[in-house]
Structure 1
């Protein structure tokens, strides 16, 4: 396999053999990164794309673990990762950097402070663009050249042409259909390999709760796994918004449940984040049934 990175030898061996889904070494590497995928192929496909120098777009509901997925990839590749958090206020300075006054040999000079895009390109590291569809459509075309084979951008503040160092790559994340989001234009979307990130369920979710929260009571952990399954099913049926099934919120509830009663933990971590009273009552009824 052609690669642009110095991958750990054990990962390279896995990518080049058929020992992918049941390799114990690889499973341990996944756990070290912090993201346990519902299907190992998700991680294999993401690693394969990045090792070929391709950008990946993590698509999935809020709280499904997209950011943790990106952090795990950064850990596996031993690559630092610069972050861009998109919003309607995202502008060229937020991406590229800004000019500021500084002093050199007692004289006032204009200095340029690099932003996450220029820092990642110059350092040959990963760039993570979170909620990429929250940015204004006119902002992101600035980095189109960064995302294709050219791997270059003209810094609008210095007129410098920046070419990415070897090892630079882009991971982006997207929540589709949310208020404030806009559809990605085809030119931008075509620059990515898309990885669909579903909610964790069943044994994978149980393992995540055991390894990432303070909750140790296996009976209560099993009830939270069941609650999560019920919430995900209700979201799929249109009874709840995706926010109700956030794995991040569920982990918070599990943490709190190590100290306070589970139903109160669910109230603080999940129910009170919801906007509609109907949804709040629905989740409280689920919690009452289980706990």
Structure 2
């Protein structure tokens, strides 16, 4: 990962800082280290995020979907040589879900740590996904966890001092249902990165890394299609359902296996729009670039 960062042009001073962190806190636990599936491209964002981690800050990644927030969080954990614990917030997330609960084992009551407790005690990287969906009971835990004192009071377990290697990276998206504004107390516990959207070059690199057999023409074609859909979303012509990078990658996997490209894109993108008018708009955008007779073999080298 650090060699990849060097190729991206990340500052040598920051790279030395990451190497020093890894020497100071070598991982020796049983949990596997973070292994992001996709690389994150973007020198300035990587440098800002790495500096926040080296300074011991909590980092909030804010931005719309398909900007690589979770990819960046996993990339940071991998570069710093730590395992990651991923917590996805939802309406039923409470303190016990984060900290842990008592359970029976071999006829005795024992404490079963939750993801936040396990991460804080082991010195991992905690990824707090969609933190602006957290409800009040979970917020009380987060206020204590992310405070400069770095302590957790756990009922029945006493006070936990966070491991010095532990870091927390949160993500938020204003556009999802059920989200709300962060309260001032929680927002003040983070430094914030507004995530820029992937540009055409970054998208082509991502597609090339995920699909080594995809031709240069294919990378440019699908990157251009994604940018078309994002432009329509920004112009309020369609909703964000079709601006789905995961769906685009899923469609390419189906096409690589032999499904006609348009049918694969219908399954990965178009059919996620359940409003008929919107679905037709998305299909029209796809038809401008993709022939109805195009097969995957035209895009993937044998």
Structure 1 equivalent of residue 206 of structure 2: 208
Structure 2 equivalent of residue 225 of structure 1: 223
RMSD value, Cα = 2.3
Structure 2 equivalent of residue 275 of structure 1: 274
Structure 1 equivalent of residue 177 of structure 2: 179
Give secondary structure in 1 for the equivalent of 2:179: coil
Residues 141-152 of structure 1: matches in 2 within 5 Å?
141-152=140-151
1:16–1:255 Cα change, 3 Å: closer
Which structure 1 segments of 5+ residues have no match? 1-6, 18-30
Taking the aligned partners of 1:155 and 1:246, their CA distance within structure 2 comes to 39
Structure 1 equivalent of residue 67 of structure 2: 64
Taking the aligned partners of 1:139 and 1:71, their CA distance within structure 2 comes to 22
Highest relative contact order (Cα 8 Å, sep 6+), 1 or 2?
1
Taking the aligned partners of 1:131 and 1:222, their CA distance within structure 2 comes to 31
1:52–1:249 Cα change, 3 Å: same
Residues 113-192 of structure 1: matches in 2 within 5 Å?
113-156=112-155, 158-192=156-190
Provide TM-score, normalisation by structure 2.
0.82
Deviations 1:15-64 (Å, cap 9, x if unpaired)? 289xxxxxxxxxxxxx9873333x31111000000110001111122233
1:135–1:219 Cα change, 3 Å: same
Which structure 2 segments of 5+ residues have no match? 17-34, 291-302
Indicate if the aligned counterparts of 1:80 and 1:125 stay in contact, CA closer than 8 A: yes
Give secondary structure in 1 for the equivalent of 2:136: coil
Taking the aligned partners of 1:260 and 1:240, their CA distance within structure 2 comes to 26
Structure 1 position 86 matched with structure 2 position 66: no
Shift of 1:206: 0.6
Indicate if the aligned counterparts of 1:215 and 1:254 stay in contact, CA closer than 8 A: no
Provide TM-score, normalisation by structure 1.
0.85
Structure 2 equivalent of residue 36 of structure 1: 40
Shift of 1:280: 0.8
